[in-house]
Chain A
């Protein structure tokens, strides 16, 4: 440990800590910066984070300095302030100041730091600025504006160090230096939109989000990506019930500061035309909209004390609480315990890599194992459904599309589909119940590390769709069960009591980075 005095306060830091991080701790806010990023190497090119260190003849950049015993640092002196202002003025010399049409406006480093440190009159006329190419589509998802760039090189370092694909580079010198893709190449790796996130200005913007919404109108809800078993921490940006984009939320234990491009697209299904908005009942051979009382009456006749449920299938896309409550409901309704299945094993497979993307596209498969539910292969699933008698209940899964032989197995039987979209199973079902999609409800997911994380409700459910746990609890009560949850915290306590791995874990107070139950006692954070 070394003792450092920052702005008059003496603090201790581990040897090797960067002065930038030490100043962030001491000040409670970061120094002004463009090029520094905690998950990338130090470049030291933007020169904004200069601080005064006693004994050094000139100001020094904090990001490329490590703390030293007895260092006395000033970050708020007039000299430091003037340096930041002058560096900022240099960054803005050739900046087009086209904030009105820039998607970054509202979350822009140049804007924010000008308001804090700048506030000067520009001495460079608009006609004197060096102009560069604008609106260059450099990949399937990213738009480049070379004029707005401050050459911080974060995006170049990201492509070199994180994805190791090296598409981007800085070309030319002096005021003609510009970011660009290597000739004949495109920025088309699976993580390309992270360059947009880390771009401190509006040089790199997202093609998908382009001109959709001004960012200051968006509200953010901390959530989880439901795209694969990695369970990246994300932020859902939404306004007036519509989700506009997903952004990664920094979680060093899972995804660092990144997320994949595919995961960012998962918000689209929330507003798809196939989203279920009301209960559907099959009448005269076709699915027709119905009211909730009609749906409840049909449900009671199809599965209950009078007509025991034959088989139940739940998808590993549902939350931990929902799967646990659903399995309990299926048992109460009469399905044999072995009849509750996690859907076809082959479903939800995709391309994976060693960075973040998991080949398992289901976000909560680990929860099935915790709750003792198996996942037969598709053909086995159909065979087991065929062997059981009575109605078939499907929750979230789409076995009609995933499991070979499913349609033959359920032919002539009542199929109840609890879900969010009109998928193949819903189309062939007799009763379709609309429930909440992932951004419309609170829920816990267990990722591939065995880490329990909380996903939060961002938007309201459409139409007559009901909250999942409340619907399942209502059905339990209607079926005569004595044990059903009264609230979500109540349900989480009940789930923690049923899963041996969760003994002693308070699911209602998870830390923001999630928690690996076995590692709680050991004090380890789990592998990345």
Chain B
């Protein structure tokens, strides 16, 4: 910061009270930045969101995803560990019988209320099957109704890690 900083109610000099001079000085600063940004676009601090995303740590907890077995069915066995651990009570699972007795139990429905979720990660920590992960990196949630934040099993199974859906 250079130059004098006037507090509100401070006395302005004659030059300042002439008004136009200060206006052109301010415009000069803006134009200087525009030209510098045009010449050195790589140094610009602005992120071109949503085309461009800021890089986050791989440990960042984004929107959840459900892992699949090799045959494409969910890895989840509906043990309810995640919903038990969840401090926001946002995971709702209904279990059903799996046709394969070696698997035995599977989720009939697996729903998360993303608006209730506090992104604490206790669900993925509690999961004994590594079936739920929060490694998608997706943090930009937008929808035009609350219902759309209530996501189901299909939605969670199709979440990917590359930030696209």
- Give A residues with C-beta under 8 Å from B: 98-101, 105, 133-135, 210-212, 214, 216-217
Contact = CB atoms under 8 A, between A and B. Distances in A.
B105 A101 contact: yes
A210 B103 CA distance: 15
A101 B102 contact: no
B84 interface: yes
A369 B96 CA distance: 48
Given A100-B129, A101-B79, A217 B104 contact: no
Given A98-B104, A100-B79, A211-B97, 20 more contacts: A99-B79, A100-B77, A100-B105, A101-B77, A101-B78, A101-B104, A101-B105, A133-B101, A134-B101, A134-B102, A134-B104, A135-B101, A135-B104, A210-B97, A211-B96, A214-B79, A214-B80, A216-B84, A217-B80, A217-B84
Nearest to A101: B105
Contacts of B79: 99-101, 105, 214
Contacts of B101: 133-135
A105 B79 CA distance: 10
Nearest to A131: B102
A211 B129 contact: no
Interface in B2-29: none
Contacts of B104: 98, 101, 134-135
A99 B102 CA distance: 13
A210 B98 CA distance: 12
B97 to A, nearest CB: 7
Instruction: Determine chain B's interface SS by DSSP, over half rule.
Output: loop
Given A101-B104, A134-B101, A135-B104, A214 B84 contact: yes
A98 B80 CA distance: 14
Nearest to A214: B80
Contacts of A210: 97
B105 A211 contact: yes
A210 B105 CA distance: 10
11 contacts: A99-B79, A100-B79, A101-B77, A101-B78, A101-B79, A101-B105, A211-B78, A211-B96, A211-B105, A214-B80, A217-B80
Contacts of A133: 101
Interface in B51-98: 77-81, 84, 95-97
B78 to A, nearest CB: 7
B67 to A, nearest CB: 15
Interface residues of B, number: 16
A98 B104 CA distance: 10
A209 to B, nearest CB: 12
B163 interface: no
Nearest to B77: A101
Contacts of A105: 79
Contacts of A98: 104
A359 B104 CA distance: 39
Nearest to A105: B79
Contacts of A216: 84
B141 to A, nearest CB: 28
Interface of B: 77-81, 84, 95-97, 101-105, 128-129
Contacts of A134: 101-102, 104
A99 B81 CA distance: 11
Residue with the highest number of chain B CB atoms closer than 10 Å, among A105, A135, A212, A217:
A135
Contacts of A214: 79-80, 84
A216 B79 CA distance: 12
Nearest to B108: A211
A211 B101 CA distance: 14
A135 B84 CA distance: 25
B57 to A, nearest CB: 30
Residue with the highest number of chain B CB atoms closer than 10 Å, among A99, A100, A212, A216:
A100
A145 to B, nearest CB: 9
Contacts of B84: 214, 216-217
Residue with the highest number of chain A CB atoms closer than 10 Å, among B80, B96, B128:
B80
A173 B129 CA distance: 34
Contacts of B102: 134
Contacts of A135: 101, 104
The 8 closest A-B pairs by CB, nearest first: A100-B79, A211-B95, A101-B105, A135-B101, A134-B101, A214-B80, A100-B128, A101-B77
Contacts of B78: 101, 211
A455 B97 CA distance: 35
A100 B81 contact: yes
Contacts of B95: 211-212
B19 to A, nearest CB: 68
A81 B1 CA distance: 73
Contacts of B81: 100
Nearest to B81: A100
Contacts of B97: 210-211
A212 B80 CA distance: 11
A386 to B, nearest CB: 52
A217 B95 CA distance: 15
A211 to B, nearest CB: 4
Contacts of B77: 100-101
A41 B75 CA distance: 44
B127 to A, nearest CB: 9
Nearest to B76: A100
A98 B79 CA distance: 10
A368 to B, nearest CB: 44
A134 B103 CA distance: 10
Contacts of B105: 100-101, 211
A105 B77 CA distance: 14
A211 B81 CA distance: 13
Contacts of A99: 79, 128
Contacts of B103: 101
A490 B81 CA distance: 46
